[in-house]
């Protein structure tokens, strides 16, 4: 079946890390049939949903349940660190900033050790299966830290971060 509709997407700030170089910092055209949920095309472009904090469609804030329409202009933003967007639609419940709990995947053993030394509640084992890690993250409300961005596509994960660097020393 040939796609019958088109929409425009633009990803901002560090969300561009997930895109191929030719698609970074520019408008990307997306062709589709029917009315897919907005989360589907975002992840088709390679951006895991836990990395997304705000979605604006045609000037209006929307949630992951929004159904994409022909001609939509979509702006996708990462977590805001210095801007209060509390009046806009939030895509997930806020995690506790005062007492965050983490779970790290097999690729982040050194980071887990450093986080524990700094006093962060950080679960880590080098033999977690992805499904087990997801179940623990959900049941214990933990933030997933990973080098495997496919892990962040798990629908059950609401809070996660794709670790872009593994060395602790600055360049």
Alpha helices in 17-171 (DSSP H): 39-44, 109-117, 130-139
pLDDT for 11-53, tens place per residue? 999 999 999 999 999 999 999 999 899 999 999 999 999 999 9
Whether residue 85 has pLDDT greater than 80? no
Distance, CA of 60 to CA of 36 (rounded, Å): 18
Which DSSP string corresponds to 11-27? E-GGGGGGS-GGGTTS-
CA-based R_g, the chain, Å: 17
Whether residue 96 has pLDDT greater than 70? no
Across the chain, what does the average pLDDT equal? 90
pLDDT at 94: 62
pLDDT at 115: 92
Distance, CA of 167 to CA of 170 (rounded, Å): 8
pLDDT at 40: 95
pLDDT at 80: 78
pLDDT at 87: 67
pLDDT at 89: 64
Whether residue 168 has pLDDT greater than 70? no
pLDDT at 19: 97
pLDDT at 110: 92
Whether residue 166 has pLDDT greater than 90? no
pLDDT at 169: 63
């Amino acid at each position: 079946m040939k796609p019958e509709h088109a929409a425009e997407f633009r990803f901002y700030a560090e969300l561009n890390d997930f895109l191929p170089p030719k698609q970074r910092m520019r408008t990307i055209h997306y062709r589709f049939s029917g009315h897919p949920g907005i989360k589907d095309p975002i992840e088709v472009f390679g951006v895991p949903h836990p990395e997304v904090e705000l979605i604006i469609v045609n000037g209006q804030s929307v949630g992951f349940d929004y159904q994409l329409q022909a001609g939509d202009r979509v702006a996708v933003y990462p977590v805001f660190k210095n801007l209060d967007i509390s009046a806009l639609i939030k895509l997930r419940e806020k995690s506790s900033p005062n007492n965050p709990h983490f779970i790290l995947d097999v690729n982040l053993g050194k980071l887990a050790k450093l986080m524990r030394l700094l006093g962060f509640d950080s679960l880590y084992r080098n033999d977690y299966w992805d499904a087990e890690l997801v179940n623990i993250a959900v049941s214990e409300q933990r933030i997933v830290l990973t080098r495997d961005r496919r892990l962040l596509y798990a629908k059950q994960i609401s809070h996660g971060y794709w670790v872009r660097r593994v060395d602790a020393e600055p360049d």
